[in-house]
Amino acid sequence: MHNRRGFERDGAAPYVFLAPLLVLLAAFMIYPVVMNIITSFTEWKGYGPWKWIWLANYKTMIADEEFWTSIKNTALMVLYIPLSTIVTLLITAFLREGIRGWKVYRAILYIPNLLGYVLMGVIFSIYLRDDGVLNMAIKRLTGSTIHFLITPVLAINAVGFLLVVFLHLGFGLIYFLAAMNGIDKSIYEAALIDGAGFWRTLFKVSIPSIRFSVEFWVVFSFIEVFARMFSFIHTLTQGGPGYSTFTLEYGIFIQAFSKFKVGYSSAWSVVLFLFCAMISIAQIRLMKRRDE
């Protein structure tokens, strides 16, 4: 009995209950990150002995045209985040107005999230190819064919729109609908009494009331662009044509599993980790500023 009281008084109980989670965190998150940083200072093919080369991988990376191309393409993807946020908020606001069949529309728009990036990449590769359904319709109307997947400018913008805007729309609707439903109804009633229309209510009531949710969505979209594009790009364009859809994340895969430069790939991964860390830090600061 005395030991039990001492156990609770010393505050050891929370650590005991958290121990399994902390072990998993250390084994599957902290350890891989640390090992990746160490590997970035080596020349390693993924098998055999390591060779310490210290900063050589980073010097090579700075002079590597493929690396800067991947940064540029990733930046182009980031430009679609504002469009994604605006489109998702607008459609959410329209659905919240209670249009007929809005639950059906919400369910239909969420289907791509259920199918996953790999399957959606395969589906759109069929739709967008030169003899695909979309080009068949365009050819009947205009008599010409649009090369969506073999024209660099069209390919990168197709990936950006489909991945950042369209595929995130379903989850965004669920997320923002939940946030808007949490707003006090009396605020909307007051806006209605004041004669506020749809647009004024959206920009003066809805968006300011879910500001934190919008900020979180933007941060979430940034991390998705930096760290979850690989499967969709690999099944849709495989980084092509040329290097037009060759992003930072896709470059990590190519360096490690196509060129067997695991050490060099780890250096790219460190850059990706730093980008994600900066985004997370920015989110934390926004949250603190909001609380203050």
* pLDDT value at residue 197: 85
Higher pLDDT, 59 or 9: 59
Tell me, which fold does domain 65-291 have in CATH?
MetI-like fold (1.10.3720)
Question: How large a percentage of the chain has pLDDT more than 90?
Answer: 59
Q: Is the pLDDT of residue 7 over 70?
A: no
Concatenate the DSSP letters of all residues of the chain into one string: -HHHHHHHHTT-HHHHHHHHHHHHHIIIIIHHHHHHHHHTTEE--SSS--EE-TTHHHHHHHT-HHHHHHHHHHHHHHTHHHHHHHHHHHHHHHHHTT-TTHHHHHHHHHHHHHH-HHHHHHHHHHHHSTTSHHHHHHHHHHS----TTTSHHHHHHHHHIIIIIIHHHHHHHHHHHHHHHTS-HHHHHHHHHTT--HHHHIIIIIHHHTHHHHHHHHHHHHHHHHHS-HHHHHHHTTT-STTTT--HHHHHHIIIIIS--HHHHHHHHHHHHHHHHHHHHHHHHHHHHHH-
* pLDDT value at residue 255: 95
Residues 138-166 have pLDDT tens digits of: 999 888 899 999 999 999 999 999 999 99
Residues 236-260 have pLDDT tens digits of: 999 999 999 999 999 999 999 999 9
Neighbours of 201 (CB within 10 A): 19
Q: Is the pLDDT of residue 41 over 60?
A: yes
Higher pLDDT, 148 or 13: 148
* pLDDT value at residue 105: 79
What does the pLDDT average to over 65-85?
Answer: 95
Which of 17-21, 31-35, 101-105 holds the top average pLDDT? 31-35
Question: What is the identity of the amino acid at 56?
Answer: A
Please write down the HEC assignment for all residues of 49-92: CCEECCCHHHHHHHCCHHHHHHHHHHHHHHCHHHHHHHHHHHHH
As a whole number, the mean pLDDT across the chain is: 89
Write down the pTM of the prediction: 0.89
* pLDDT value at residue 52: 95
The position carrying tokens 């985040």 is 81
* pLDDT value at residue 35: 95
Taking the C-alpha atoms of residue 9 and residue 4, their distance in angstroms, rounded to an integer, is 9
* pLDDT value at residue 246: 95
Question: How large a percentage of the chain has pLDDT more than 70?
Answer: 95
The contacts of residue 272 (CB under 8 Å, 6+ apart) are: 226, 227, 248, 249, 252
CATH 1.10.3720.10 range(s) for the chain read: 65-291
* pLDDT value at residue 100: 74
Q: Is the pLDDT of residue 193 over 80?
A: yes
